[in-house]
A and B are shown apart, each in its own frame.
Chain A
Amino acid sequence: MTDPRSVGIVTAQKAVFDQPITLSSGATLPRYELMYETYGTLNADASNAILICHALSGHHHVAGKYAETDKAAGWWDNMVGPGKPIDTDRFFVIGLNNLGGCHGSTGPSSINPETGKPYGSTFPLVLVRDWVETQARLADRLGIKQFAAVIGGSLGGMQAMRWAISHPERVRHCLVIASAPKLTAQNIAFNDVARQAILTDPEFHGGDYYEHGVVPKRGLRLARMLGHITYLSDDGMGEKFGRELKSGEYKYGFDVEFQIESYLRYQGDKFSGMFDANTYLLMTKALDYFDPGRHFGGDLVAALKTTLAKFLVVSFTSDWRFSPERSREIVKALLDARRPVSYAEIESRHGHDAFLMDDEPYFGVMRAYLNNIAKEIAA
């Protein structure tokens, strides 16, 4: 059965860029590839395009399935599709895997054409602004001069903000969800513990583990387990797992006893089997470095004064990794910069993960806002 509210069966595409790109770090990549997917139809004047920027572990497979038999659909399938808040009957939606990723775009696990070996430790660090530049090149390739909206949650929200600052004339609307103007010390600290878990794994081999035929699975697993804790709220975790025991009684040992242990280990195992450790390191550094006020004397207001987009900022009450206070900083900076902005603070028990979940007020805000964009561009 085909679900009329699904984009259906989708196919990923690859864009090859032979023009070199110089990254913020000073390093240059002579060529690179980006994996992407599109849903819906680009209209005649190319005014109905929406770019979805992914978070830490995301990728280009935003909606739909590759085959009917796929267990899961894309990571934001509840938000993107026909009749959904990001309505593919009206918008042309693009999802991509960022440079440095491990889902087909050029990244540390890709073969370096100069050496014939995986980049590994030689893959340069990439900043949010570098991603935006590569995304802009993809937009050029697809004939999109201006996006109706650039949308992202978490690290994706940072890319949306950076888009509005780096390319003001190319973004009509900027939707920043569960994000932050820059990371706090605590947030950087979590990232560093995650990195240390990977970097100290004996099978990391300085980042060149590919040639040893191993992967630093233990480190990546720990990093993901730590991450998961910070993506959930105390209440949400308590509600879901409490102190429930797998077998119903204490075993007096270090095997999995509590359901939460089982859940975290399962998540860690699953993730470490399919994600690249170097990509994880790179993504967390991009998070840490993000600070759009930095080139404006540390003044976020000055940075946002350059923008031309209208903003929607959304946060979730129980999100402590990217708390509502951080979103309110973005809102305050936009207000001080005299930019148009709406802000919704959604009551939720799901912590940071709330931005990926079905929730009516949240979807209501998104639907209402995107509906107006569609009217504005007459889609």
Chain B
Amino acid sequence: MSGVTSLRPDLKLIADWIAPRSDVLDLGCGDGTLLAWLAANKQITGFGVERDVEQVVRCVEKGLNVIQSDMEYGLSQFEDGRFDEVVLSLTIQAMHNIEGILQEMLRVGRSGIVTFPNFGFWENRWQILTGRMPVSETIPYEWYNTPNIHFCTVNDFDKLLAKLGMRIDEQIVLHQGEKVEFLPNLLGSLALVRFSRT
């Protein structure tokens, strides 16, 4: 299994929030990198949910439990309160029903972790000012081929959680893997939020 150093900085921060031996659900788990690391280093048990069959194969190769499924149809296969942590990493901006998935995350889990590209990052704002749609490290697509349909800033996401009666327990904003403490909504390109029911 992969060592501590091989985990991407944003995934490492997610991993830091997850307690040893937790029950973890990783939505849009991709090739299972995070789950495999957590299983090896924090003895978690868990499931991945992934739509793409090639990625499902990668997860099975790693010996993970993975359910091939499209989260847009909800998480009805999971019972209420089944998990300690539900992770949705760099996927929410490509989903249709944002409120629905956030509600579902806290239905099946005690705590949710969402990471997303911060549209409020200054480079994005600058590109808009110069009359172009932003293309950057965390938003690497052109407007015509992007899978992303719901962009938001750090502040927007916080407001949505409040509207849904959810509480922010932890929040970190990153740029190029480094934490941004000063003006995070302007200087950070990637946001990580951990939240629960108020």
Contact = CB atoms under 8 A, between A and B. Distances in A.
A365 B54 CA distance: 9
B164 to A, nearest CB: 25
Nearest to A310: B65
A346 B68 CA distance: 9
A364 B61 CA distance: 9
A333 to B, nearest CB: 10
Contacts of B3: none
A338 to B, nearest CB: 8
Contacts of A372: 60-61, 63
B187 interface: no
Nearest to A329: B77
A275 interface: no
Contacts of A312: 60
A371 B66 CA distance: 16
B64 A371 contact: no
Give the size range of B's interface with the partner.
20 to 34
A11 B69 CA distance: 42
Nearest to A369: B60
A328 B73 CA distance: 13
B53 A347 contact: yes
B78 A346 contact: no
A343 B65 CA distance: 8
A4 to B, nearest CB: 24
A331 B60 contact: no
Contact of B57 (A328, A335, A368): A368
Contacts, number: 56
B53 A342 contact: no
A361 interface: yes
B61 A341 contact: no
B67 interface: yes
B1 to A, nearest CB: 13
A345 B56 CA distance: 10
A336 interface: yes
Nearest to B78: A335
B86 interface: no
A352 B117 CA distance: 42
A340 interface: yes
B49 to A, nearest CB: 10
A364 B53 CA distance: 9
Contact of B54 (A342, A343, A361, A371): A361
A361 B57 contact: yes
A344 B82 CA distance: 21
A331 B57 contact: no
Interface in B37-67: 47, 53-54, 56-57, 59-61, 63-67
Contact of A361 (B53, B63, B78, B82): B53
B68 A345 contact: yes
A69 B3 CA distance: 53
Contacts of A345: 53, 68-69
Interface in A319-334: 328, 331-332
A342 B79 contact: no
Mostly, the A contact residues are helix
A342 B60 CA distance: 8
A310 to B, nearest CB: 8
Contacts of B65: 340-342
Nearest to B54: A361
A312 to B, nearest CB: 8
Nearest to A366: B60
B146 to A, nearest CB: 24
Contact of A343 (B57, B69, B76, B79): B69
Nearest to A332: B77
B179 to A, nearest CB: 35
B67 A331 contact: yes
A343 B66 contact: yes
A336 B54 CA distance: 26
Given A368-B61, A371-B61, A344 B78 contact: no
Contact of A365 (B56, B67, B76, B78): B56
Contact of B64 (A328, A335, A342, A347): A342
A331 B57 CA distance: 17
Contacts of A347: 53
Interface string B77-92: 1110010000000000
Q: Which 10 A-B residue pairs are closest in the complex by CB-CB distance? A: A368-B60, A368-B61, A364-B57, A361-B53, A332-B77, A343-B67, A345-B68, A344-B68, A372-B63, A342-B66
18 contacts: A312-B60, A328-B77, A332-B76, A335-B47, A335-B67, A342-B56, A342-B60, A342-B64, A342-B65, A343-B69, A344-B53, A344-B57, A344-B60, A345-B53, A347-B53, A361-B54, A371-B61, A372-B61
Interface of B: 47, 53-54, 56-57, 59-61, 63-69, 76-79, 82
Given A335-B79, A342-B67, 8 more contacts: A332-B76, A332-B77, A335-B67, A336-B79, A347-B53, A368-B60, A372-B60, A372-B63
